[in-house]
Amino acid sequence: MILLPKITRRRALIGSLGLTGLALAGCDKIAGSDSVSRVLSAGEAFTRTSQRLVLGKNAPLAREYKASDISPNFKANGTVQPETDVYKQAQGDNFATWRLGVFGLVTKPLSLSLAELQRLPARTQITRHDCVEGWSAIGGWTGVPLGLLLQAAGMQPSARYAVFHCADLYDGDPYYESIDLIDAFHPQTLLAYAMNGSPLSVAHGAPLRLRLERQLGYKQAKYVMGVELVDSFARLGKGKGGYWEDNGYEWYAGI
Amino acid sequence: MTAPTIDEAPAVSEPQTASGRRERVGRDGRTQIYRHTVWVRVGHWLNVLALTLLLFSGLQIFNAHPHLYWGQYGANAAAGPDHAWLSIDATRDKAGKDHGTVRMGQLTIRTTGVFGVSKRADGSTSYRAFPRWMTVPGYTDLSQGRHFHFFFAWIFVLNGLVFWAYGFLSRHFQRDIAPTAPDLRGIGRSIVDHVKLKHPTGEAATRYNVLQKLAYIAVIFVFLPGMVLTGLTMSPGFDAFFPWLLDLFGGRQSARSLHFICAGLTVGFIIVHLVEVMLAGPINEVRSIITGWYGIRPDHPVAPPPVEETPAVEARP
């Protein structure tokens, strides 16, 4: 017969307190380790796959709101004034000489001024912006559907992602983002130049920012200077597909 | 009297009773019933793991914007028309002293040391809504908190779906959780018993009491599914697919507030649950959720009362 130690209530309590202390001390080491992060990333893959399953083909739209729903004070986050020379110069002449480049795996690279972009077919939508931190703001956006530009530039068959190169540095590193072609051709995916009926302010990304309504705020790159089509984003930044992705955040930010 | 040990081997016998319930007699001479099937036991412990990590990683995520709003939007708690109904802040007074506060409407509570302003292990001051010992990871890291949260959310959801399917198909919910009409009529009695900390014995101990049933229903069908649905409502991707969720909860920021409230209610349930386990006999209770076997306290003392006592009672006027 196996003799088990008698577990009294008091002993069980003391034991569990000791374990809790040990667990707390060891927790942070474990919580931040690479192998734990690898296991946890299965959750992101699961989320991406399941959301792609329901959001991929039929491309349901993000909710659009009424003008009366617009936030009275749309919070500006991240960079609110880029300090790079290229941006300062563009800002200096009110973006008159600024041009958007569309390049990479395209058949016909484009270079467009703000006025040229504004002459293209536009879409206006009032949508909700959800920050990864937890807050939300509702704003109206006007811009060129990204799919239209990509069609104009002609995609090479190997193109898989659209990368957005931005004029701002965040914490010293260039801000950039990337999305797949399902999102790039979604009707609500815009390169927006106006917000709530006025030209985009500097704090919100003037002269051009991405709107990607079914993902979180950090995907919605501001100060876009160029759109590059690539087959892989491994050679950009730290290889994770975006500034915040390189700093641990999910590439697929649908949740 | 010796403290009982956690033993799995049936001490005497394991007959099948007429009611179909498996019973045995434990070493202490008490009848034990096979209360929790392996589905319930495994589901329970997976839930303990998932909910624990969801709770602590959820507080890490909350710390990134420690304000709650009602409605579709909300972003400017301190300055702006958005009006957070709950905020956890750190403020510095004129003397240069830091205070942690929890503000709900007009009510502000000083919470220095725990919420808003707390101390790190090395004694330095940390300005965060929930202190390090309440978050996963302990240090501030929203991205890692999110990785934990969504990984264990999947475990929680899949485990919950299996538990729901099992509960209905095996009729565990219908048989053991759904309150009967006599249960509901006896609710007053049950409340009195709970206040007196009186726990059922004999045949009554083989069933859940009515308050217990109602608490389980609240958790299984309201708090936990509510947590999942309000969580999904915060997903901009899922919202595009199920926009009615936004209408159900009255907006994304309302869903975020309700997510936090559901978590609070679940924590409340867990505290009551653990207190009841301690009061009802922790060893028996914990054994039953590990091995399935639950000891029944007899209605009478184990040694039957002497026969002569019965007429003596009846003889009293």
Cα–Cα distance, A100 to A50 (Å, whole number): 34
* Amino acid in the structure at residue A110: L
What is the model's pLDDT at position A24?
60
The first and second tokens of residue A228, run together, are: 């590059």
Strand (E) or helix (H) holding A24? helix A9-31
Q: A7 or B287: whose pLDDT is higher?
A: B287
* Amino acid in the structure at residue A193: Y
A60 reaches B (C-beta below 8 A)? yes
Residue B17 has pLDDT above 80, yes or no: no
A233 — pLDDT class (breaks 50, 70, 90):
very high
Is B72 within 8 Å of A128 when comparing Cβ atoms? yes
For chain B, what is the HEC assignment? CCCCCCCCCCCCCCCECCCCCEEEECCCCCEEEECCCHHHHHHHHHHHHHHHHHHHHHHHHHHCCCEECCCCCECCCCCCCCCCCEEEEEEECCCCCEEEEEEECCEEEECCCCCEEEECCCCCEEEECCCHHHCCCCCCCHHHHHHHHHHHHHHHHHHHHHHHHHHHHCCHHHHHHCCCHHHHHCHHHHHHHHHCCCCCCHHHHHCCCHHHHHHHHHHHHHHHHHHHHHHHHCCHHHHHHCCHHHHHHCCHHHHHHHHHHHHHHHHHHHHHHHHHHHHHCHHHHHHHHHHCEEECCCCCCCCCCCCCHHHHHHHCC
Cα–Cα distance, B125 to B99 (Å, whole number): 11
Is A134 within 8 Å of B238 when comparing Cβ atoms? no
Determine the structural domain holding residue A127 and report its residue range: 64-246
Stretch B100-121: mean pLDDT: 93
What is the model's pLDDT at position B54?
98
Residue A9 has pLDDT above 70, yes or no: no
Tell me which fold the domain B37-65+139-295 belongs to.
Fumarate Reductase Cytochrome B subunit (1.20.950)
Give the count of beta carbons closer than 10 Å to the beta carbon of residue A16.
11
Same domain, yes or no: A68 and A39 = no
How far is Cα of residue A185 from the mean position of the Cα atoms in its chain? Answer: 16
Residue B240 has pLDDT above 70, yes or no: yes
Stretch B276-282: mean pLDDT: 94
* Amino acid in the structure at residue A60: P
Greatest Cα-to-Cα distance within chain B, rounded to the nearest angstrom = 81
Task: Collapse the DSSP code of A193 into the 3-class scheme (helix H, G, I; strand E, B; otherwise coil) and give the result.
Answer: strand
What is the model's pLDDT at position A7?
46
Q: Is A102 exposed, middle or buried (0-12, 13-18, 19+ CB in 10 A)?
A: buried
Domain assignment of residue A254, yes or no: no
User: Do strands A99-104 and A224-230 pair parallel, antiparallel, or not at all (unpaired)?
Assistant: parallel
Cα–Cα distance, B292 to A104 (Å, whole number): 63
What is the model's pLDDT at position B78?
76
Give the count of beta carbons closer than 10 Å to the beta carbon of residue B247.
10
Domain assignment of residue A253, yes or no: no
How many domains does the structure of chain A reveal? 2
What is the model's pLDDT at position B303?
54
* Amino acid in the structure at residue B199: H
A33 — pLDDT class (breaks 50, 70, 90):
confident
Domain assignment of residue A107, yes or no: yes
B19 — pLDDT class (breaks 50, 70, 90):
low
How far is Cα of residue A126 from the mean position of the Cα atoms in its chain? Answer: 18
**Which CA distances in Å does B230 have to B79, B84, B143, B145, B235?**
27, 18, 20, 18, 9
Residue A58 has pLDDT above 90, yes or no: no
Is the peptide bond preceding residue B298 cis, with omega within 30 degrees of 0?
Answer: no
Distance from CA of A61 to the nearest CA of B (A): 6
Residue A37 has pLDDT above 70, yes or no: yes
Residue A214 has pLDDT above 90, yes or no: yes
* Residue numbers of A between 15 and 54 with CB closer than 8 Å to B: 24, 27-28, 31-32, 37, 39-44, 46-47, 51, 54
Distance from CA of A98 to the nearest CA of B (A): 32
- Per CB-CB distance under 8 Å, the chain B contacts of A71 are 73, 75, 82
**Alpha-carbon Rg for chain A in angstroms:** 23
Task: Collapse the DSSP code of A41 into the 3-class scheme (helix H, G, I; strand E, B; otherwise coil) and give the result.
Answer: helix
Residue B102 has pLDDT above 60, yes or no: yes
What is the model's pLDDT at position B16?
53
Q: How many CB pairs under 8 A join A and B?
A: 154
Is A6 within 8 Å of B82 when comparing Cβ atoms? no
Q: Using the 8-state DSSP alphabet, how is residue A2 labeled?
A: P
Cα–Cα distance, A17 to A10 (Å, whole number): 11
Strand (E) or helix (H) holding A150? helix A146-153
* Residue numbers of B between 187 and 206 with CB closer than 8 Å to A: none
Cα–Cα distance, B58 to A16 (Å, whole number): 23
Beta-bridge mates of residue A126: A140
What is the model's pLDDT at position A16?
52
Domain assignment of residue A4, yes or no: no
pLDDT, chain B, mean: 89
* Amino acid in the structure at residue A253: A
Cα–Cα distance, A56 to A185 (Å, whole number): 11
Distance from CA of B289 to the nearest CA of A (A): 16
Say if CB A100 and CB A191 are below 8 A apart: yes
Q: What angle do CA A159, A162, A163 make, to 5 degrees?
A: 125
Task: Collapse the DSSP code of A70 into the 3-class scheme (helix H, G, I; strand E, B; otherwise coil) and give the result.
Answer: coil
Q: Would you kindly state where each structural domain of chain B is located, as residue ranges?
A: 37-65+139-295, 70-129
Same domain, yes or no: A84 and A171 = yes
Domain assignment of residue A208, yes or no: yes
- Per CB-CB distance under 8 Å, the chain B contacts of A60 are 240-241
Select the residue of A62, A134, A244 nearest B256 (Cβ to Cβ).
A134
Domain assignment of residue A221, yes or no: yes
Select the residue of A24, A28, A40 nearest B148 (Cβ to Cβ).
A40
- Per CB-CB distance under 8 Å, the chain B contacts of A127 are none
User: Do strands B293-295 and B31-34 pair parallel, antiparallel, or not at all (unpaired)?
Assistant: antiparallel
The first and second tokens of residue A142, run together, are: 């006007």
B28 — pLDDT class (breaks 50, 70, 90):
confident
Say if CB B230 and CB B249 are below 8 A apart: yes
State the helix-helix crossing angle for B142-169 and B38-63, rounded to 10 degrees. Answer: 150
Same domain, yes or no: A103 and A195 = yes
Percent of chain A exceeding pLDDT 70 equals 89
User: Do strands B23-25 and B125-128 pair parallel, antiparallel, or not at all (unpaired)?
Assistant: unpaired
Domain assignment of residue A55, yes or no: no
Task: Collapse the DSSP code of A67 into the 3-class scheme (helix H, G, I; strand E, B; otherwise coil) and give the result.
Answer: helix
Q: Using the 8-state DSSP alphabet, how is residue A93 labeled?
A: T
CATH code (residue A200): 3.90.420.10
pLDDT in tens, B140-158: 999 999 999 999 999 999 9
Cα–Cα distance, B68 to B65 (Å, whole number): 8
Residue B41 has pLDDT above 80, yes or no: yes
What is the model's pLDDT at position B312?
44
Of A182-191, B16-25, B98-107, B112-121, where does mean pLDDT reach its minimum? B16-25
Is B64 within 8 Å of A60 when comparing Cβ atoms? no
Domain assignment of residue A201, yes or no: yes
* Residue numbers of B between 250 and 309 with CB closer than 8 Å to A: 252-253, 256, 278, 282-283
Residue B58 has pLDDT above 60, yes or no: yes
Stretch B162-188: mean pLDDT: 96
